[in-house]
């Protein structure tokens, strides 16, 4: 009876005219701040949750499909055929629990701890470089072993920089009047993070963090002229990093001609076999489990090149569906950020839009690399690729977005965030 009473109270107010409609939209309809509206029915964006769940479940199936044959390789002979599936399931469970806890944290608390979380991420980035603590794989030292999973501090750094940049821009609202004085401390902080990431090395993570920081900088009030100046400096800096590194230059050359005799069996090997996978998939794919390229031809098929396996098994249609889901998710996250800003919650709005930039840009880079449109980078496909740290921080960041949406709905229904 209580639920029926609440529902009747909710629907009884829909037909009443009101003059305090907010200039935002939720779920396609304008909402009013009526004190009589039950705050307990605020809820959160269920459509966004279902899209996230769909990507997670599809990713789980594809990780198993891409890794099931790996134990046939002598390098992984001691692993069971379900080894990577089991670890991925454990990562999902841990990430879900942490994400639920993150959802309980109010945005005011996230704003208070943002600087301290940034400092903690710096400490972990330093710690991963210490011998016998940081774990090295294929020449890169990026992980800290926790027993049940390997944690990658660069994933935490993305989230920490996002919160720090949003908090910084809220505190430095005079950015338009005294640009360099206001922005320089944040630029120095990002540069320190970049130096630590390049020491691992992890240029892909540094690129994502730079884009997140620049996006929040622009959304936080930097005028277009100064933003383009910063963009030019960042582009030149990344260009110099490539020019001054022999192996990075080789990656660029391999990307430009992966089929050449010089690169086809070396730095262009992954890209060439990724393109073969997409070619075999054609329009409708060869069917789930039917991929040939995952049978020891395409390295890292369950992580960085999971999209190639999707393209081979589900074809052009499957690729379009994945892109469509990510585009909808990113658009919805940005919309939640705009709603928050319209409610005069600048920090929460910048955080949500920063998460949208993060998800959208990293997805764009990963799919672009798989399709041969961009040079090879070690970035996973958010929510889908194998990787405990990435899944954990992806879900935590999305839980924060859902918290922002939840608080927005409370305010629009006359409650308190």
What's the CA gap between 338 and 11, in Å, rounded?
27
Quick: pLDDT tens for 185-197: 888 888 899 889 8
Quick: pLDDT tens for 236-284: 888 888 787 777 788 888 888 888 877 777 778 888 889 999 999 999 9
Model pLDDT, residue 284 = 93
CB 378 within 8 A of CB 389: no
Stated pTM of the model: 0.84
Model pLDDT, residue 180 = 67
- Chain mean position to CA 86: 23
Model pLDDT, residue 390 = 93
Sheet holding 134-137, edge to edge: 134-137, 140-145, 150-151
DSSP-H helix ranges across 128-152: none
Distances (CA, A) of 401 to 178, 323, 338, 406: 31, 20, 12, 9
| 381 backbone dihedrals φ, ψ, rounded to 5° | -85, 115
* C-alpha closest to that of 369 among 138, 207, 159, 135: 207
Residue ranges for the chain with pLDDT beneath 70:
1-42, 138-139, 148, 173-182, 223-224, 415-417
Dihedral (Cα; 297, 298, 302, 303), 10-degree rounding: 150
Residue 128 DSSP class = T
């Amino acid at each position: 009876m209580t639920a029926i009473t609440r529902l009747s109270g909710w629907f009884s107010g829909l037909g009443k005219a009101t003059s305090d409609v907010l200039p935002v939209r939720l779920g396609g309809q304008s909402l009013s701040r009526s004190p009589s509206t039950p705050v307990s029915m605020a809820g959160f964006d269920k459509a966004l949750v279902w899209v996230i769940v769909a990507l997670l479940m599809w990713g789980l199936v594809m990780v198993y499909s891409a890794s099931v044959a790996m134990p046939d390789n002598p390098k992984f002979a001691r692993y069971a055929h379900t080894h990577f599936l089991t670890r991925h399931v454990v990562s999902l469970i841990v990430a879900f629990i942490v994400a639920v806890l993150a959802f309980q944290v109010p945005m005011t608390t996230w704003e208070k701890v943002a600087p301290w979380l940034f400092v903690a991420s710096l400490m972990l980035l330093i710690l991963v470089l210490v011998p016998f603590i940081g774990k090295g794989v294929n020449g890169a030292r990026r992980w800290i072993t926790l027993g049940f999973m390997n944690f990658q501090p660069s994933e935490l750094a993305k989230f920490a920089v996002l919160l720090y940049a949003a908090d910084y821009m809220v505190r430095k609202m005079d950015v338009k009047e005294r640009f360099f004085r206001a922005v320089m401390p944040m630029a120095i902080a990002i540069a320190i993070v970049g130096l630590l990431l390049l020491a691992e090395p992890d240029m892909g993570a540094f690129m994502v963090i730079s884009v997140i920081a620049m996006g929040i900088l622009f959304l936080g009030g930097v005028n277009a002229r100064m933003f383009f100046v910063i963009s030019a400096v960042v582009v030149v800096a990344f260009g110099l990093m490539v020019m001054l590194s022999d192996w990075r230059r080789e990656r660029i050359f391999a990307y430009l001609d992966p089929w050449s005799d010089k690169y086809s069996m070396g730095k262009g090997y992954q890209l060439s076999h990724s393109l073969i996978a997409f070619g075999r998939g054609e329009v409708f794919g060869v069917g789930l489990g039917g991929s040939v390229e995952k049978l020891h031809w395409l390295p890292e098929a369950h992580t960085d090149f999971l999209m190639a396996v999707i393209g081979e098994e589900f074809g052009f249609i499957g690729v379009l569906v994945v892109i469509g889901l990510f585009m909808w998710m990113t658009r919805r996250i940005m919309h939640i950020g705009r709603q928050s800003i319209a409610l005069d919650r600048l920090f929460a709005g910048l955080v949500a839009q920063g998460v949208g930039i993060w998800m959208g840009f990293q997805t764009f880079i990963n799919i672009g690399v798989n399709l041969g449109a961009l040079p090879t980078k070690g970035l996973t496909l958010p929510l889908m690729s194998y990787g405990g740290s990435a899944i954990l921080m992806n879900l935590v960041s999305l839980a924060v977005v859902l918290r922002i949406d939840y608080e927005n709905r409370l305010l629009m229904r006359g409650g308190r965030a």
